[in-house]
Chains A and B, each alone.
Chain A
Amino acid sequence: ILNVEQSPQSLHVQEGDSTNFTCSFPSSNFYALHWYRWETAKSPEALFVMTLNGDEKKKGRISATLNTKEGYSYLYIKGSQPEDSATYLCAFKGWADGLTFGKGTHLIIQP
């Protein structure tokens, strides 16, 4: 059974502050690491697909890094805004076709 862990489970951040959270995953049989942003009653929105060790990707105020040797990825949000409130999911892709998800980090931005 693959183990994908996300921490923290939930996070309250003041508007304007920056924040980050972690995803840890198996370091063997690694193909890709996916990040999604999921707002209630909507479809999970694809943020990043990361494949190479040392990868760093950016989308607006959100960025992510990847360390496949030690099996972790960080997601950073700079200057948090209320619209950033969501659950952030990471998902590991190994040799199998489907994704193995963590439980997510529930982020609440307080005005």
Chain B
Amino acid sequence: GAVVSQHPSWVICKSGTSVKIECRSLDFQATTMFWYRQFPKQSLMLMATSNEGSKATYEQGVEKDKFLINHASLTLSTLTVTSAHPEDSSFYICSARPSGGGTQETQYFGPGTRLLVL
């Protein structure tokens, strides 16, 4: 149980294009999902918290107009990197917290998406 999928697993795109990444909780509902980013040799860094049916909360320094988050259902959150540039190349990974659990509950992670912008 508690499986989170992420699609695509890797993507290469040209500078200026937009890329959408999907995060799905397969066997549980998740009111809250999180998006993290990892640059080489760095730790996973929280980008934003996504709550179903409401606007996402972005961490300081993360541009909300560049990283669009939509959490339209209890099992799906999407991250769209708009007008991607080479500096957006990174590893993006989502997590989902089962609905009804407290804020201390486990977050279950997807396998991540590697984005390369040429």
Contact = CB atoms under 8 A, between A and B. Distances in A.
Interface of A: 4, 31-32, 34, 36, 41-44, 46, 49, 51, 89, 91, 93, 97-104
Given A42-B111, A43-B4, A97-B32, A34 B43 contact: no
Interface of B: 2, 4, 32, 34, 36, 41-46, 49, 57, 59, 93, 95, 103-112
Given A4-B43, A89-B44, A98-B49, A49 B105 contact: yes
Nearest to A48: B106
Contact of B46 (A31, A36, A49, A98): A98
Contacts of B34: 97-99
A86 to B, nearest CB: 14
Given A41-B111, A102-B43, A97 B106 contact: no
Nearest to A97: B49
A103 B81 CA distance: 24
A31 B43 CA distance: 20
A99 B46 contact: yes
Contacts of A89: 44
A44 B109 contact: yes
Given A43-B111, A44-B109, A46-B108, A97 B43 contact: no
Contact of A34 (B2, B46, B49, B107): B107
Given A31-B103, A43-B4, A93-B104, A100 B109 contact: no
A89 B111 CA distance: 15
A101 B104 contact: no
